[in-house]
Amino acid sequence: MRIHLRSTPTVALLALLAIGLVGAEEGSPAPHPDPVLEEHVQVVLVDLVVRVVDRKGRALVDLKPEEVQISEGGQERQLAYFAPLASQGAGRELDHAEQAAALYDSEGAPTSAAPEVVVRPPAVQRRIVLAFDPANSRQRVREKWKAAAIEWAIDSMRPDDRVAIVTFHTGVDWVLEPTTDRERVMAALGALDLDSHAPDRDRRSEMTALVDELFLCSDAYRTQGVGRSKSSDATGPFATNDAVDCGYRIVEPFAAQWDIEASERVLGLRTLVGQLAAIDGPKEVLLFSEGVVPDAANLLATTMVGVFGADAMRIQEISTRLARNSLEELTRLFRGARSAGVVFHAFDTRSGADRGHYDAREYAPARDRQTLGINPVAEMYNETNGMLSSLAHETGGRAYHGTSKLPAKVREAADRFFGLYNLGYYRPGDGSSAGKLRIKVDRGGADVEVSETPRRPWPSRAVTLDLLVGRPEVGGSAGYHSLPVVFEFNLSDLPLRRGGGVHGCQMGMYLQAAKPDGTIVGEAFREVTVARDEGPKQQDPTMRVRQLLRVELPPGPYRLRARASDDRQEIVSQRIVDLTILPTGEVRGGLAP
């Protein structure tokens, strides 16, 4: 966005004022002034969303514009605006009119199109997703997760908060779609079963068992007196002795299993992000998990060094042989989340003992080798916790540890939304390098979190989304009407992938109804799975996919925003309809007064 400013030099302006006053005193018409010197300055308006927290990571919610100073490359910049993101929407006008979509009657026939209008964008609301990962956790902590979430819902959930609940097993399961109904949230949490389909998963015990098996290899070959060096024509994979070859055969299935689990979880998180991309604006995911192993090759190679010693192994070759692509998938997850405005806050509820801090086991067989002080239990914790910490850091969230004061941590994470501010400032538009951005807040201990690079949009493609708006029915609340809206796509436009014997994708579909002043009156969200037995070449190109959503509204004018996204963010579609619901239940195109 470029703004052209015209400035009038102060000296010239004062001179003109003096001439005008003299002429008035003499009763004669003022002489025609000389042309005013005009200076055209081209500037660029830079718009950012920043999060401001104190030393303990708690949101600062009462900052004023006069407390903010901005500089780039050492040059001070003029602040254009600074306001809490939660207050944005109502009161701010769009720069241009949005093109409204066609309006359909209950039979699917088109009616007169809604006219182009300029309305205020909807107010930004707090959207919280409570996400539980029982497949990667110990059973004894899961009830603490639930208790903390329930306490937050009772004490801290606000009337306009929209809260959803999901769980992860092999994929993502929606327990509750976004709602403002506190009673529904509490009922869903109370009935949540995190144990039936997820056995106990103790990473510390898992690593201890693996190390015990590796020591059996080491002890067996030492007891048998097998020579340390292998013959020059030996074909064992990547070791200098038979004990390490034995160890490699033990860790290989661990690598395969951990990589499968990591891939499942990362793809599950990507599915959640892709579905949430249908909802515009920021979304905060509170993820309760004890992590997966994103880089099994590195962890297992390091563990083998701790048992056999670095001088007994070709470490790089073993790591290369075990390597998979989980890290690449994780990178795509980070980028997709940033593009969709999804922020993760991770809660790893393991204790100090689980981190290997109190592990006193003596690895005597390896003491005479280059073990580098490796503690395999600590390495396991660092790997799994590092995945959660990176997810939080890369998406603008925060990672929390342990069960101490867990309800307070959940509340703090959810409240970080209120530390988001919309900030704008002017930069010279001469094309010169901007330099390093510095944002200073005149508040003791304040920390401003802002991405160092602009958020790149995910390379999604636009596909046609048709809307069919039917005649409203009597709603569940007095004076409200239930408005049916059908989302319709060409099947051939959807990014169907092969999996589980079918071709399909998972989608998020979102419908919002807002008044012209930006007040959100109703919303609906559905997670939808599209699956077909036929491959793309066998599918009928004329086949359509339909999904019905309903939103309850009182009579009045509304802008409907319909959005849809798939689980890999390959498509993101949006349509807009302006309509008015009359007291009689009829629907007319446009925003009637």
Q: Where are the domains of the chain?
A: 1-37, 95-119+459-593
Pairing of strands 39-53, 447-449: antiparallel
pLDDT for the residue numbered 143? 94
Res 527 pLDDT > 90: yes
Could you give the CA distance from residue 409 to residue 414 in angstroms, rounded to a whole number?
9
For residue range 22-67, what is the model confidence (pLDDT) as tens digits?
333 444 444 555 555 555 556 788 888 888 988 888 888 889 999 9
pLDDT for the residue numbered 22? 35
pLDDT for the residue numbered 532? 84
pLDDT band at 512 (very low <50, low <70, confident <90, very high): very high
Mean pLDDT score, 436-456: 76
pLDDT top residue among 363 and 312: 312
| Closest-CA residue to 419 (of 151, 38, 51, 18) | 51
Res 225 pLDDT > 80: no
Phi, psi dihedral angles at 14 (to 5 degrees): -65, -40
For residue range 82-121, what is the model confidence (pLDDT) as tens digits?
888 776 543 333 333 344 444 545 455 555 544 444 567 7
For residue range 235-249, what is the model confidence (pLDDT) as tens digits?
444 445 778 888 888
pLDDT band at 148 (very low <50, low <70, confident <90, very high): very high
Phi, psi dihedral angles at 195 (to 5 degrees): -110, -30
Could you give the CA distance from residue 400 to residue 347 in angstroms, rounded to a whole number?
5
Res 191 pLDDT > 90: yes
pLDDT for the residue numbered 293? 92
Q: 94-98, 492-496, 577-581, 589-593: which has the minimum mean pLDDT?
A: 94-98
Give the distance from CA 510 to its chain's centroid. 16
pLDDT for the residue numbered 307? 83
Over the chain, what is the mean pLDDT? 80
pLDDT band at 11 (very low <50, low <70, confident <90, very high): very low
Res 208 pLDDT > 60: yes
pLDDT for the residue numbered 217? 85
pLDDT for the residue numbered 4? 31
pLDDT for the residue numbered 498? 86
Supply the CATH classification number for the domain 95-119+459-593: 2.60.40.3880
pLDDT for the residue numbered 502? 86
Model pTM score: 0.81
Q: Judging by beta carbons within 10 Å of its beta carbon (0-12, 13-18, 19+), is residue 7 exposed, middle or buried?
A: exposed
Could you give the CA distance from residue 572 to residue 461 in angstroms, rounded to a whole number?
7
Do residues 488 and 466 make contact, with C-beta atoms less than 8 angstroms apart? yes
pLDDT top residue among 274 and 372: 274
pLDDT top residue among 99 and 550: 550
pLDDT for the residue numbered 224? 55
For residue range 283-306, what is the model confidence (pLDDT) as tens digits?
999 999 999 998 888 898 888 888
pLDDT for the residue numbered 323? 67
pLDDT band at 145 (very low <50, low <70, confident <90, very high): very high
Phi, psi dihedral angles at 485 (to 5 degrees): -130, 125
* DSSP string covering 364-409: GGGTTS--TT--HHHHHHHHHHHHHHHHHHHHT--EEESSTTHHHH
Ranked by mean pLDDT, the top range of 1-15, 142-156, 536-550 is: 142-156
Res 271 pLDDT > 90: yes
pLDDT for the residue numbered 325? 63
- Rg of the chain taking only CA atoms, in angstroms: 30
Could you give the CA distance from residue 175 to residue 172 in angstroms, rounded to a whole number?
9
Do residues 41 and 5 make contact, with C-beta atoms less than 8 angstroms apart? yes
Largest CA distance in the chain: 121
pLDDT for the residue numbered 377? 86
pLDDT for the residue numbered 110? 57
For residue range 465-484, what is the model confidence (pLDDT) as tens digits?
999 999 898 877 778 899 99
pLDDT top residue among 542 and 393: 393
Q: Report which DSSP code applies to 493.
A: G
Q: What is the 3-state secondary structure (H, E, C) of 547-559?
A: EEEEEEECCEEEE
